[in-house]
Structure formats: structure tokens, C-alpha cells
């Protein structure tokens, strides 16, 4: 009898407890609407480093707008898109979210993004300080569905300390792809006796955007307006074979097995690879991961005509879910994030070189800082006449194709499960399923 | 009492004895109404959260549905595409290896420990709890993370290998060693089948062993001639449950490989690939087709188990 009694009272207690908890949850969300307060959801992809910047900027925003609370969340790039596509299915996209040109059409063509033009004509969203061509990257179907935060460009990051230790000079500004192969081989040979072993860099042909850049260097616009591919199987095969000299007879690229174990860091940020290609704004998170600010930037190797054909890409964009219940306030938040000088000082060049010219001018760049390094790097690209190309058109399905290239085929190739021909064949057969053509 | 005896047992015959007619059907109706009323919360949940989505996913399996773009009816295209999909084949291979190798190891571990704990010794209570503990925490995210750390380069397993000079490097980055690692993780969580085995062992009458001992049977003979046949219903239950379980592995593989099924597809379990296709690439139709194929295959395997069970599962009380 007594056992039963205890059990009953235990059950009752648990029930009461769970009721109380539900009540808490309920009142929490209710008070948001009742008191005239507004809660905005804001999500982005990126590392901790970016989260700290955003959070600090949002604290300022909330201070200036006491009636608005911003709920934030962030994820790694691939997971981020998995979450957003689930949100889209249930009509619950965040009020404000980071958007990428590679996915923009996928969302915009289905009317999932809010047309922000109603706020730009003297409204709460000021886009007048953004270069018109750059701003047009956020337009789709004659609507303004995304606002660029800034620009970035592909770069070679190298670790001068590690190179000095090995006694090897970094590549010259006008180096070629062949010279880069030689550089990797040289570093890997010199670093073979180090513990842990040091390599020049990874197999760069498994990076999707470098393939894009390489096509552009050959004068090939990767995708047509109707979503068709403008490159052939031979183009892809040739590109992958560019790195053949460093894969055989001896593989001197950073081993995939090691890379797997270092995740989420890379070989470069673990001080085990001397160089890596990436977007220049990654300098910030890379420097945090590496624990050293001494990372230098170089452009991509030159194409067959000796030119760089570099392009500036909208680093990322900010967009609003069409389902947002507070579009006015969401636009206000975007305006704050791209224009406010104080927020700009916090964000720096982590989201690319600021798109808003006013913010860029107001940016107080410290001598020798990472911000300065990125700004000077992009300036030199312009000064040297390297930035002659435009961002490639990214059709609907571009992002999924990139994932297939990097995460699936790139992995299998790096682990030597498939050869170049299988890579090419499977890429083109998957592209049929992933690209949306008209 | 032998297996041979079992094989020749007569098929089930006879019908249930006819029930006497009830005089007050209204009371029975009221009772069943009450029964359904009590069932209602579960039933509603089942329809809304399980049956409904299942039917929807069956429909999706015949479409090229995309969470953002929507989709249209494409008939059996998803299923024909599966045949030509090398990663699908990889995932089938990985999952089958895991089920065929992992399940017997896990059950053997569970049975072995259950027999050790079945002895009437002092202080077996704490041991039972200790051996059961991993299966309580094993499915959690943190354990998968700990597991990954243990098997990484310079992790504790790497150090042990270096000490004994048996292997070099962690297991996480080596496609050849991730499967043993995953199987170890599963086998380590043998607590649930162990408890069931333990209950089964308690049911075996001690006289059988005593009689066998009098006849001069050794430990091995007692195990094969008494323990195994008497335990076969429990073994059957555990086998079916654990096999189905192993086909559904997702969480630990997702965490250890960061959702990518790597390195080199070596942890690309069926459900993980399904997830990648459905939610990573937005090919929900394709993923639904995969899901239904899994349901069908697991169903067939379970059916085979049940069909073959009459030849090796012995239910005491039968044939009396």
C-alpha cells in the first residue's frame, strides 16, 4: 500500500511539475506580444568567432530598440541549409537570415523571401550607399529579396612563420598553377620530418569555387541563364588533372585521413599545412583557429593568359522570410547590420569588405590588423588590374551541386575510392538531378 | 527436448472454444467504448504523428518532391535511380556489414555477461547495474562525441595501440577502422538484451542442470543442450529486436562523421544517406523511396526470422 502511495504522489508531483513547466513556456511567448514587445529570429552560418561579433552588434541594436528582442542561432554552412529548407517547408523561415547567392534563386523563385523594396525608398532600410551592381545581386524576379553585406574574393592564405621555419619562400604575386604545384611539393618535402608532418597544402582541385575560377580564367562562363552548364566533361577532367603532378607518383598533398581527424579545424589552421585557398574574409576565423594573426594573402594563380581574372563576390546577403510577422522591424535590423557605424566597427570585414560605402569610410582600421590586410589585399587586386571578371551566374541548384562536388565526390576522390573519370561521370549524372534548367 | 524434436512438432491445430453468448451486449459495447476512450489519446497521436506521415511519405516516394520547389508524380523513377546510385550501394553494404557482424557480437556479449551474472554470488546487483549503464547513456550525443575523441589520433585507443605496437594512428580517419569502431560502440551497449537474457536464464529450471550433471554432462554440453534450447525464445526475441535496431542506426554515425558518412563513405549508413538525400539535398521523394525500401526489406528479414524460427525456437509447454 505504501509503495503505491509513494508512486501516486510521485506521479502527481511529476505531473504538476510538467504543467508548471508548460505554463512557463506559454507565458514566456505570450508576454512577447502582450507588452508590445517584438521578437525577431535571426540566423546565420559561421564559426564562434562570427557569432561573437554578431551578438555584440545585436546587443547594441537591442539597446537602441528596447521593444525588440533578437533571438539568434547559428550553424555550420551545410547544416545551416538543411535547417533552412526544413523551415521553408513549414513556412517558418527566420525573420532575418544570412543568404547566399548560390541558394538565392531556390528561395526567391518560390516566393519565400520578402520583397524589401517597400522599405528602401526612404524607409527603414537604407541601401543608397551600396554599389548598384553589387546590390543587384540580391534582386530576383524584379524584387529586392536580399541585401549584400560585403564583398570577398578568393585568395591563397599562407603561413609565413611555418614557411620561415622550413626555409621556403612563398609564391610570387603572379605565380601560375604549375608553380603552385611546385610550391606544395617543395614544402611537403621539407616538412616530411616534422612532427606532426607538415605539407604544402591540400588537393585544391576538390574545391568547387576554384574550379569556377579556373573556368573563368579560360573565358568560360560556367552556367548559362537557363541553368545549363557551359563547361564540358573534358573541362572538368582537365581541371582535376591540374593537380595530378602533386598526386603522383608520390602524393604530396595534405592527406584526407589526417584532415578527417582534425575536423572542424583544417590542416592549415592546425599548423600542419602551409597554405590553403579560401575566401579572404575567412582570415578572421582562420586566425582565431590557428592562434596567430600572421597569415598573409595572395591572389589565385594566373590563368593560361597570365591574367588573374579575379572577381568580387557578394560575401553573403541578409534576407527576410516572406512569412515574417514583423517585416518593418526585420528591415530595421538589416539596416542596422549593414549601415550602423558602431556595428560596423564590431563586424569589421568578417562579412566581407563592407558593401555600404559609408560604413567602409567610417571603419577605423587599425594598422597591421586583419581588417587592414583584407582591405589592402582587395585594393591591390584592383590596382594591379587583376579584378577583371564578374561573379559567375549561379542558377537554381548551384548550391546543391557544390555540396555534391565538395562533400560527396571530393571526399571519395580524396580517399582514392574513385578516379578522375568516375568523378566526372558521376558529377554530370548528379547535375541532371540537382540543377534546375528551363 | 532437442532441436530435432522441435522440427517435427505438429502444426498448430484446433480452434478457440466457442464463447457462450453474452446476454447483455450493451454492457460489452459500453466497455469497448470506454476502452476506445482510453485508447483515444494514443490513437490520435498514432494517426497524426505516425500513420499520417507514413502514408504521406509513401506518396512522396513516387514523386520528385523538393522541400522548396515541390514536386510531381514520377512513378517508379526514384526506385530505378536507386539501382544506378553508387552511394546507395555503398550505404547498403555498410549497413548490412554492421547488422550481420555487429548484431551477433552484441548478442554474444549480452548472453556471456548475463550467464556470468546469473550465478548466485554476492554483490551481483551493482555489477548488473554497471553492465546495464552503457545502454542507458550509449545512445546519447555525448557518448558519440566521447567515442570519437577516444578513437582519434592521439586518443586513448591510439596510445594503447602505440604501447602494444599493434596499430598506429586513430580509427576515426581511417576508412578501414571506422566500422570496427561503430560495432564496438554498439556491442558495448549490450545492456538491454542482457537484462532480457538474464530474465530468460532465471526461467530455466535448475533440475535440468542437476539431471545433466548426474548424467556426466560438462559445461559446454549443458550450454548447448540445455541453456541454448531453453533460451531460444528469448534469443529469438533479442535477435529480431537487435537486427531491426541495427538497420536503424543513425545518431552515433551522424555525430561521429559529422553527418557526412565519412571518411570515404565508411560510415554512410542507410539512414544517414537517406537523411543526406532528403534533408541535405532536398530530394525528399528519393529519400522517401529509400525509406520505404528499408521498411520492406526489414519486414522481409523479420518474416524470414519468424518463418525459420519454428526450426530452432523451442517454446516450453508446447507438444505436451
Q: What pTM was computed for the model? A: 0.79
**Do the Cβ atoms of A106 and B175 come within 8 Å?**
no
With left for phi above 0 and alpha for psi between -120 and 50, is residue A33 left, alpha or beta?
A: alpha
pLDDT tens readout for residues A324-359: 999 988 998 999 988 888 888 888 888 888 888 878
For residue B122, being part of any structural domain is answered with: yes
Angle at the Cα of B226 from the Cα atoms of B221 and B227, rounded to 5 degrees: 100
Name the 3-class secondary structure at A75. strand
> How far is Cα B24 from Cα A317, in angstroms, rounded to an integer?
73
A403 touches chain B (CB under 8 A): yes
pLDDT tens readout for residues B110-156: 999 898 888 766 677 787 788 888 777 766 777 788 888 888 777 77
Q: A208 pLDDT exceeds 90?
A: yes
Task: Tell me how many residue pairs between chain A and chain B have CB atoms under 8 A apart.
Answer: 73
Instruction: Kindly report the CATH class assigned to A154-312+390-434.
Output: alpha beta
pLDDT, position B166: 67
> How far is Cα A362 from Cα A241, in angstroms, rounded to an integer?
46
DSSP 8-state code for residue A128: T
DSSP 8-state code for residue A138: G
Q: B18 pLDDT exceeds 80?
A: no
Residues 6 or more apart whose Cβ sits within 8 Å of residue B313: B6, B232, B233, B235, B236
CATH number of A9-150+315-375: 3.40.190.10
Contacts of B283 in chain A (CB under 8 A): 433
> How far is Cα B313 from Cα A30, in angstroms, rounded to an integer?
59
**Do the Cβ atoms of A261 and B170 come within 8 Å?**
yes
**Do the Cβ atoms of B68 and A426 come within 8 Å?**
no
Q: Each residue of B135-167: b (16+ CB within 10 Å) or e?
A: beebeeeebbeebbebbbbebebbeebeeeeee
For residue B51, being part of any structural domain is answered with: no
Q: Closest Cα of chain A to B111: distance in Å?
A: 33
A412 touches chain B (CB under 8 A): yes
Mutate: best of B86, B280, B288, partner A, most A CBs <10 A: B280
B278 touches chain A (CB under 8 A): no
Q: What is the mean pLDDT of residues B171-176?
A: 78
For residue B16, being part of any structural domain is answered with: no
**Do the Cβ atoms of B282 and A436 come within 8 Å?**
no
pLDDT tens readout for residues B182-233: 898 888 888 889 999 999 998 888 888 889 888 888 888 888 888 898 999 9
For residue B56, being part of any structural domain is answered with: no
A424 touches chain B (CB under 8 A): no
| Candidate from A44-48, A83-87, A366-370 with smallest mean pLDDT | A366-370
For A244-379, strand residue ranges (E) read 275-279, 296-298, 313-314, 317-319, 353-354
Q: B82 pLDDT exceeds 80?
A: yes
Domain count for chain B, please give it.
1
pLDDT grade for A423, boundaries at 50, 70 and 90 = very high
| Domain coverage including residue B170 | 81-311
CB A378 within 8 A of CB A280: yes
Residue keyed to cell 532528403: B278
pLDDT, position B293: 95
pLDDT, position A340: 85
> How far is Cα A403 from Cα A139, in angstroms, rounded to an integer?
24
The enclosing domain of B269 has a CATH number of: 1.10.3720.10
Q: What is the mean pLDDT of residues B249-268?
A: 83
Pairing of strands A38-45, A68-75: parallel
CB A97 within 8 A of CB A44: yes
For residue B18, being part of any structural domain is answered with: no
Nearest-CA neighbor of A209 among A83, A311, A281, A137? Answer: A311
Q: Structural domain boundaries of chain A? A: 9-150+315-375, 154-312+390-434
Within this chain, domains A9-150+315-375 and A154-312+390-434 share the same CATH topology: yes
Q: Closest Cα of chain A to B282: distance in Å?
A: 7
Give this complex's ipTM.
0.75
| Candidate from A9-13, A143-147, A199-203, A276-280 with smallest mean pLDDT | A9-13
B251 touches chain A (CB under 8 A): no
Amino acid at each position: 500500500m505504501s509503495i503505491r502511495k509513494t508512486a501516486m504522489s510521485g506521479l502527481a508531483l511529476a505531473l504538476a511539475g510538467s504543467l508548471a513547466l508548460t505554463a512557463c513556456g506559454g507565458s514566456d511567448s505570450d508576454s512577447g506580444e502582450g507588452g508590445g514587445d517584438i521578437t525577431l529570429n535571426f540566423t546565420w552560418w559561421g564559426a564562434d568567432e562570427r557569432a561573437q561579433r554578431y551578438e555584440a552588434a545585436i546587443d547594441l541594436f537591442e539597446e537602441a530598440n528596447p521593444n525588440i528582442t533578437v533571438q539568434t542561432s547559428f550553424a555550420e554552412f551545410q547544416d545551416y541549409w538543411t535547417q533552412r529548407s526544413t523551415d521553408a517547408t513549414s513556412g517558418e523561415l527566420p525573420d532575418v537570415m544570412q543568404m547566399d547567392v548560390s541558394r538565392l534563386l531556390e528561395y526567391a523563385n518560390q516566393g519565400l523571401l520578402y520583397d524589401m523594396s517597400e522599405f528602401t525608398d526612404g524607409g527603414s532600410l537604407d541601401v543608397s550607399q551600396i554599389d548598384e551592381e553589387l546590390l543587384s545581386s540580391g534582386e530576383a524576379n524584379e524584387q529586392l529579396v536580399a541585401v549584400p553585406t560585403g564583398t570577398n574574393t578568393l585568395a591563397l592564405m599562407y603561413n609565413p612563420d611555418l614557411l620561415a621555419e622550413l626555409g621556403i619562400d612563398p609564391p610570387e604575386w603572379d605565380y601560375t598553377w604549375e608553380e603552385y604545384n611546385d610550391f606544395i611539393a617543395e614544402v611537403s618535402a621539407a616538412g616530411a620530418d616534422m612532427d606532426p608532418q607538415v605539407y604544402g597544402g591540400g588537393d585544391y582541385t576538390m574545391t568547387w569555387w576554384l574550379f569556377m575560377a579556373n573556368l573563368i580564367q579560360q573565358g568560360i562562363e560556367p552556367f548559362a541563364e537557363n541553368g545549363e552548364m557551359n563547361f564540358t566533361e573534358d573541362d572538368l577532367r582537365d581541371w582535376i588533372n591540374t593537380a595530378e603532378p602533386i598526386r603522383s607518383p608520390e602524393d604530396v598533398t595534405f592527406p584526407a585521413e589526417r584532415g578527417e581527424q582534425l575536423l572542424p579545424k583544417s590542416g592549415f589552421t592546425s599548423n600542419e599545412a602551409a597554405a590553403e585557398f579560401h575566401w579572404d574574409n575567412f582570415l578572421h576565423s582562420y586566425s582565431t583557429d590557428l592562434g596567430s594573426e600572421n597569415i598573409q594573402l595572395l591572389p589565385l594563380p594566373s590563368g593560361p593568359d597570365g591574367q588573374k581574372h579575379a572577381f568580387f563576390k557578394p560575401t553573403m546577403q541578409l534576407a527576410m522570410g516572406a512569412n515574417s510577422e514583423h517585416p518593418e522591424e526585420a528591415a530595421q535590423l538589416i539596416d542596422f547590420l549593414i549601415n550602423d557605424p558602431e556595428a560596423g566597427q564590431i563586424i569589421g570585414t568578417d562579412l566581407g569588405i563592407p558593401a555600404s560605402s559609408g560604413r567602409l569610410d567610417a571603419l577605423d582600421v587599425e594598422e597591421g590588423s586583419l581588417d587592414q590586410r583584407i582591405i589592402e589585399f582587395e585594393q591591390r587586386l584592383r590596382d594591379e588590374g587583376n579584378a577583371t571578371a564578374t561573379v559567375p551566374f549561379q542558377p537554381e541548384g548551384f548550391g546543391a551541386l557544390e555540396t555534391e562536388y565538395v562533400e560527396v565526390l571530393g571526399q571519395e576522390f580524396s580517399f582514392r575510392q574513385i578516379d578522375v573519370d568516375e568523378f566526372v561521370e558521376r558529377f554530370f549524372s548528379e547535375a541532371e538531378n540537382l540543377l534546375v534548367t528551363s | 527436448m532437442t532441436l530435432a524434436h522441435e522440427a517435427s512438432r505438429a502444426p498448430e491445430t484446433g480452434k478457440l472454444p466457442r464463447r457462450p453468448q453474452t446476454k447483455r451486449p450493451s454492457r460489452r459495447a459500453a466497455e469497448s467504448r470506454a476502452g476506445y476512450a482510453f485508447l483515444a489519446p494514443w490513437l490520435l497521436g498514432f494517426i497524426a504523428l505516425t500513420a499520417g506521415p507514413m502514408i504521406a511519405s509513401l506518396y512522396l516516394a513516387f514523386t520528385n518532391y523538393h522541400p522548396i520547389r515541390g514536386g510531381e508524380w514520377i512513378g517508379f523513377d526514384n526506385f530505378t535511380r536507386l539501382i544506378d546510385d553508387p552511394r546507395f550501394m555503398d550505404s547498403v553494404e555498410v549497413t548490412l556489414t554492421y547488422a550481420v557482424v555487429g548484431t551477433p557480437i552484441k548478442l554474444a556479449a549480452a548472453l556471456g555477461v548475463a550467464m556470468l551474472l546469473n550465478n548466485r554470488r554476492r554483490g551481483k546487483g551493482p555489477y548488473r547495474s554497471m553492465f546495464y549503464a552503457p545502454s542507458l547513456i550509449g545512445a546519447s550525443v555525448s557518448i558519440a562525441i566521447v567515442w570519437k575523441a577516444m578513437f582519434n589520433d592521439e586518443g586513448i585507443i591510439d596510445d594503447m595501440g602505440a604501447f602494444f605496437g599493434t596499430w598506429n594512428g586513430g580509427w576515426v580517419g581511417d576508412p578501414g577502422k571506422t566500422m570496427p569502431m561503430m560495432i564496438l560502440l554498439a556491442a558495448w551497449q549490450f545492456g538491454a538484451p542482457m537484462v532480457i537474457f538474464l530474465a530468460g536464464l532465471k526461467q530455466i529450471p535448475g533440475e535440468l542442470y542437476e539431471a545433466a550433471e548426474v548424467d556426466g554432462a560438462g559445461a559446454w554440453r549443458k550450454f548447448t543442450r540445455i541453456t541454448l534450447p531453453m533460451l531460444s525464445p528469448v534469443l529469438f526475441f533479442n535477435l529480431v529486436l537487435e537486427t531491426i535496431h541495427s538497420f536503424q542506426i543513425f545518431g552515433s554515425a551522424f555525430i561521429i562523421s559529422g553527418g557526412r558518412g565519412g571518411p570515404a563513405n565508411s560510415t554512410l549508413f542507410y539512414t544517414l544517406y537517406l537523411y543526406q538525400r532528403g534533408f541535405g539535398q532536398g530530394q525528399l521523394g528519393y529519400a522517401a523511396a529509400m525509406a520505404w525500401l528499408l521498411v520492406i526489406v526489414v519486414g522481409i528479414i523479420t518474416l524470414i526470422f519468424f518463418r525459420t524460427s519454428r526450426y530452432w525456437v523451442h517454446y516450453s509447454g508446447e507438444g505436451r
